[in-house]
A and B are shown apart, each in its own frame.
Chain A
Amino acid sequence: MQRDRAVRPTAARTAALVRHNVMLMLREPGPMASRLILPLAFLLLLHPLYEQAQPGSRGIVQAVVATIVTFSLLAMSIAGGSFLTERIWHTWQRLRSSAATPAELLIGKLTPVLAVLGLQQVAVIAFAAALLGLPVAGLPLLAVAVAAWTLALAGMGAALGLLARSFSSLSASYDIGGMILSSLGGALVPLTALPEWVRQVAPISPGYWAVSALESALRGAAGRTFLASAVLLAFAAGAGLAAAIRASRTWGRSASL
């Protein structure tokens, strides 16, 4: 048997993990495909409603932002599901006993997830810009907003995937939590049309900041985009920290999975 005992650099291990996770994702493409296709169908069917309700370009902007925020919150299941699957298969513990560091494991796991979450948003924006007349004031600003929201989604999804005790509880948290966060954030219906108490509590929802970042970026409002993106990055950091702490601990044989 040939051996190569030379210690591989961290890049090689990370690349192996990324490659492996991409392969896993492609082996079960259903969830990814539905998360990419459904938002486009939703937008195509419902954008006339939004455009009728709001004058000018505000209608299509609201439709695009609503679609992105709502469906990207639901797409957190891609991140959470990939972590929960590792736990159920006991492969996460197996990975932790390998030479890979926790950072390598998280990067390897999250890189393809980030790609899909980002692709989902880019697909909606490109679709709307190409076919539905969405105005885009500044691509760099939009890239900042999309990147910040993608990181927040990945962090929150990973944390949920590492904390959930079963797929049913994970699914419930995405379905219920996603709808609440997107509604509370003013994604589906503008905040101005919602009750006062909703407007008061809206900033606690990451959906609110996602709506703010994306709307501001589409309008070209740099200050508001950066502020909202910074808050989203704070959500990402907090969720990522929770995920990292949970990921570094063992579940033990008594874990009820």
Chain B
Amino acid sequence: MFRSAWGVQFSGARASKARAAAVPARGDSDAVLVAAGLVKRYDGIAALAGFDLTVQAGEIAGLVGHNGAGKTTFVEVVTGLVRADAGRVLVAGEDALHNSRRARRLIGVAPQEQALYLSATVRDNMRLFGALAGLSTRALHDAIEDVAAELLLTDALEQRAGLLSGGQRRRAQAATAMIGAPRLLLLDEPTAGADPETRAALLAAVRRRAAAGAAIVYTTHYLPELTDLGATLAVARGGKVIARGTQDSLIGGLPSELRLRFDQRAVPSSLPTVMTGRAEAVDGEVRILSADPPGDLAAIFACGCAPVSVDVRRPGIDELYRAIAAEARDAA
């Protein structure tokens, strides 16, 4: 029922139209990252199966997808850690597959796994990656102070990375990626397991990088972060991007879910008939898919149903996956 309901709400031509509404149209000359038709197989299993992604200067592209969707492999291909079997990647015009070194000069990367010199201080870590990014000694000193302040690391600069808290390590890792002011910033789940303070600092720093003109690929499982960032979405599944566009174009068309609790556990018989087909009782609450939550709530109260609690759930990435899957089934 759930799936079919999604299919009714977000299917066929409407979905296609929404997904076709790509990122704000700009000239190709603004594209910092152009990845097209990337294929990577491991022992016959496709980690990337025709992965396409273009990110403009100043754009934050939220790359989302379940584990195994190809997000991290994509980052590894762009940074030259993994050789693609086919496809092409351009970073600010540089061919990242055939001249990886030139492209890597333009990239800052914070990998998913923690990658810090634990016996070295935060300053030492930042100094190394800043120097490798091409900063001169003077510029390096200033950049360390600036980025550390931005990521709330000033007081931790002289601490060994191994003694930092989890949140500080996340910020230190991001700092080593950001210190060279790269034109392309690849952040692979930078806030995984992070505390609210770390998350806020990181998101603010990412926004500033985008405002300064960097293109940012931000992989995450937390959709609210991408809303905070005003990011466009690229939904990966099965090694390819299956949906690309603004959040409004992709998720705006999906219904919200009303979760209502009544004194009785069953769906009230007085519920407006138009809703009964969309309602189901789950765990003592009534769940109703709604494209118009305020209107539906008004109708519910108007008919005399008096829920003891109301929870409106906005659609998220899981709902988007379901909608896309339902659409694929419909198309088939």
Contact = CB atoms under 8 A, between A and B. Distances in A.
Interface in B32-89: 42, 72, 76, 79-82
27 contacts: A1-B147, A2-B139, A2-B142, A2-B143, A3-B135, A3-B181, A4-B134, A6-B136, A7-B105, A8-B131, A13-B131, A20-B124, A28-B119, A89-B117, A90-B111, A90-B115, A91-B116, A93-B115, A94-B109, A94-B111, A97-B104, A97-B109, A98-B133, A99-B105, A101-B101, A250-B76, A253-B72
B107 interface: yes
Interface in A95-133: 95-101
Interface residues of B, number: 39
Contacts, number: 99
Contact of B81 (A12, A16, A24, A96): A96
A252 B247 CA distance: 32
Contact of B120 (A2, A23, A90, A100): A23
B136 to A, nearest CB: 5
B222 to A, nearest CB: 20
A109 B82 CA distance: 22
B113 A90 contact: yes
B118 A89 contact: yes
A24 B136 contact: no
A250 B84 CA distance: 13
Interface string A175-212: 00000000000000000000000000000000000000
Interface in A196-232: none
Interface string B123-162: 0100111011111101100110011000000000000000
A11 to B, nearest CB: 12
B43 to A, nearest CB: 11
B119 A24 contact: yes
B134 A89 contact: no
A96 B134 contact: no
Q: Which 4 pairs show the lowest CB-CB distances between chains A and B?
A: A16-B131, A97-B79, A94-B115, A90-B115
Contacts of B129: 94, 98
Contacts of A13: 131-132
B276 interface: no
Nearest to A9: B134
Nearest to A15: B131
Contact of A97 (B81, B119, B136): B81
B114 interface: yes
Contacts of A3: 135, 139, 143, 181
Nearest to B160: A27
A1 B101 contact: no
A27 B109 contact: no
A27 B121 CA distance: 10
A154 B58 CA distance: 46
B136 A4 contact: yes
Given A3-B135, A8-B134, A97-B107, 12 more contacts: A1-B181, A3-B139, A16-B127, A20-B128, A24-B120, A89-B117, A91-B117, A93-B115, A96-B80, A97-B81, A99-B134, A253-B113
A16 B128 contact: yes
Contact of A250 (B82, B117, B135): B82
A16 B79 CA distance: 21
Given A3-B181, A99-B134, A100-B132, A93 B139 contact: no
Given A27-B120, A91-B115, A93-B115, A98 B104 contact: yes
A26 B82 CA distance: 33
Given A99-B104, A250-B76, A89 B131 contact: no
Interface in A10-32: 12-13, 16-17, 20, 23-24, 27-28
Contacts of B147: 1
A233 B101 CA distance: 30
A232 to B, nearest CB: 32
A107 to B, nearest CB: 13
**Which of the listed residues A1, A2, A28 has the most CB atoms from chain B within 10 Å of its own CB?**
A1
B81 A1 contact: no
Contact of B142 (A1, A16, A96): A1
A178 B90 CA distance: 48
Interface in A52-104: 89-91, 93-101
Nearest to B114: A90
Contacts of A24: 117, 119-120
Nearest to A86: B117
A192 B85 CA distance: 56
Contacts of A89: 114-118
Contacts of A23: 120, 124
A20 B124 CA distance: 8
Contact of A27 (B119, B133, B143): B119
A23 B127 CA distance: 12
Contacts of B109: 94, 97
A122 B135 CA distance: 37
Nearest to B161: A89
Contacts of B82: 250, 252
